[in-house]
Amino acid sequence: MYEVGKDELEAIEAVLSSKKYFRYQGKDVETVTSLCEKEWQAYQKAPYCLLTTSGTNALVVGMAAFGIGPGDEVIIPSYTFVATASAVMQVGAIPVIANIDDSMTIDPKEVISKINERTKAVVAVHMDGLICDLEGLAKICCDHNLLLVEDAAQACGGTYKGVPVGSYGAFGGLSFNVDKIISCGEGGLLVIAHENFEKQYKKAFVTHDTACQYGLTKREDLDEVSGFFGLSTRLNEINSSILRAQLKKLPDILIKLRERKLLLINEFKKNQIPMRLGHDSDGDIGTNIHVKCSDPLHTLELTKKLIQNGYRAMAPQLRPAHACWQWMNSMNKDQYYVDGLNPYSLTDKSYSYEKAHFIRTVQILGETLRIEINYDGGDDQYREWMQNLVALIQE
């Protein structure tokens, strides 16, 4: 979260003093939450947007609404936050992990090699604001009759060929937790960008709020999909009010971050510093730059040096819950609180995840250093930050 202040405080105060915190206030009554969803519909150019309490829950709700469940396999990338895998397992399906490529995002060729008769969906994760090859992935999904899902938790505001991320696939999930470009503390958004998925949107609504199918406010609208027990993951009016204020700020934040990243890319190019870029540099949200290092030791030494000099640098291989080998050990028949709910017990196929299969990911992450683009300070300060960074990398 980059910008927070008076607007958010006033928004919170208005809700607090109204004493109306619940997203429903009567049939057809516009609330802060329903208004916020309409603003997201406009931003995402999507007919259906549903706020949830987290990005993880947005993905879970989307998966349930689109019929992903026990027996299904969902292909996800080897470099993603654990929530991508856990969302798949929450609906009873099995995550199948595909290596990333030089773009740090899922490798379409690997995806093809993982497809079989159980595959139901592919999740494109726009990691660190880097945009996936959505066209390549969409073609594969179309050829094999699979759902393309976007986990855009780390790329809110990003675009692919002009289309907002989250709105390209069958559905997408965004996160507004405190680490994200805009935040309301905790929150998520399910985006469904195609008119013909109205029924899935209604199912998502019921899944995100089981009780709403019985209440007067929503009963009539949801009648045709009623009869499913889901979650209680409604966003409240206080969080929604913060998010409305944050969404207004998003375009300016993006302009600044993108300008700054472009300056840095040009500076790196001038100095022949290799980088890893996603599949749409204009659509990248500009939060991070990824330096390509010669080997893992070089990455670690450079990370240490940059941190000592006040840079927010991180070797992705060391992020605690992002490289697949940090979370895939929990994906098996034994590791579940309730045996009968374990997706690995709900299928007749056995699965194992060997680190050896992910050597390419080990190599790519090992040779990558992620640096957060400096947002604070004026242009002169940024130029100094940038030039010092180049000097430190070249030392």
Ligand X SMILES: Cc1ncc(COP(=O)(O)O)c(C=O)c1O
Q: Nearest to residue 333, comparing CAs of 345, 325, 322? A: 345
**Binding range to ligand X, per CB under 6 A, among 17-25, 80-88, 226-234, 276-284:** 80-88
Q: Give me the least distance between CB of 172 and ligand X, in Å please.
A: 11
Q: Does 347 bind ligand X (CB under 6 A)?
A: no
The two structure tokens encoding residue 209: 């709020």
Q: Give me the least distance between CB of 86 and ligand X, in Å please.
A: 9
Q: Does 66 bind ligand X (CB under 6 A)?
A: no
Considering only 40, 48, 81, 168, the residue that binds ligand X (CB under 6 A) is 81
Q: Note whether 72 and 147 are within 8 A (CB).
A: no
How large is the angle between the packed helices 82-90 and 55-65, nearest 10 degrees? 40
Distance of CA 328 to CAs 46, 100, 175, 195, Å? 33, 15, 22, 36
Q: Does 77 bind ligand X (CB under 6 A)?
A: no
Q: Which is nearer to ligand X, 31 or 56 (CB)?
A: 56
Q: Does 80 bind ligand X (CB under 6 A)?
A: yes
Q: Does 154 bind ligand X (CB under 6 A)?
A: yes
Rounded CA separation 79/89 (Å): 17
Looking at residue 290, its amino acid is: H
Q: Which is nearer to ligand X, 80 or 239 (CB)?
A: 80
Q: Note whether 66 and 198 are within 8 A (CB).
A: no
Q: Give me the least distance between CB of 100 and ligand X, in Å please.
A: 13
Q: Please report which residue ranges of the chain form alpha helices under DSSP H.
A: 6-18, 32-44, 55-65, 82-90, 108-114, 134-143, 198-208, 219-222, 237-270, 296-308, 324-327, 359-366, 379-394
Q: Does 317 bind ligand X (CB under 6 A)?
A: no
Rounded CA separation 123/81 (Å): 12
Nearest residue to ligand X, scored by beta-carbon proximity: 55
Q: Which is nearer to ligand X, 126 or 249 (CB)?
A: 126
Dmax over Cα atoms in the chain, in whole Å? 67
* Residue 106, SS3 per DSSP: strand
Q: Note whether 107 and 127 are within 8 A (CB).
A: no
Rounded CA separation 311/370 (Å): 10
Interactions with ligand X, residue window 176-235 (CB under 6 A): 177, 179, 188
Q: Give me the least distance between CB of 367 and ligand X, in Å please.
A: 21
Q: Note whether 276 and 297 are within 8 A (CB).
A: no
Q: Give me the least distance between CB of 99 and ligand X, in Å please.
A: 17
Q: Which is nearer to ligand X, 61 or 313 (CB)?
A: 61
Hey, how many other C-beta atoms are within 10 angstroms of the C-beta on 263? 15
Rounded CA separation 342/335 (Å): 8
Q: Does 56 bind ligand X (CB under 6 A)?
A: yes
Q: Nearest to residue 345, comparing CAs of 89, 85, 114? A: 89
Q: Give me the least distance between CB of 321 and ligand X, in Å please.
A: 9
Residues that contact ligand X, how many (by CB under 6 A): 15
**Binding range to ligand X, per CB under 6 A, among 54-62, 98-106, 263-271, 330-338:** 54-62
Q: Give me the least distance between CB of 363 and ligand X, in Å please.
A: 21
**Binding range to ligand X, per CB under 6 A, among 149-157, 191-199, 246-254, 363-371:** 149-157
Q: Which is nearer to ligand X, 115 or 155 (CB)?
A: 155
Considering only 31, 33, 44, 54, the residue that binds ligand X (CB under 6 A) is 54
Q: Give me the least distance between CB of 388 and ligand X, in Å please.
A: 29
Rounded CA separation 151/131 (Å): 11
* Residue 312, SS3 per DSSP: coil
Q: Give me the least distance between CB of 316 and ligand X, in Å please.
A: 12
Q: Which is nearer to ligand X, 81 or 168 (CB)?
A: 81
Interface residues with ligand X (CB under 6 A) are 54-56, 80-81, 83-84, 125, 151, 153-154, 175, 177, 179, 188
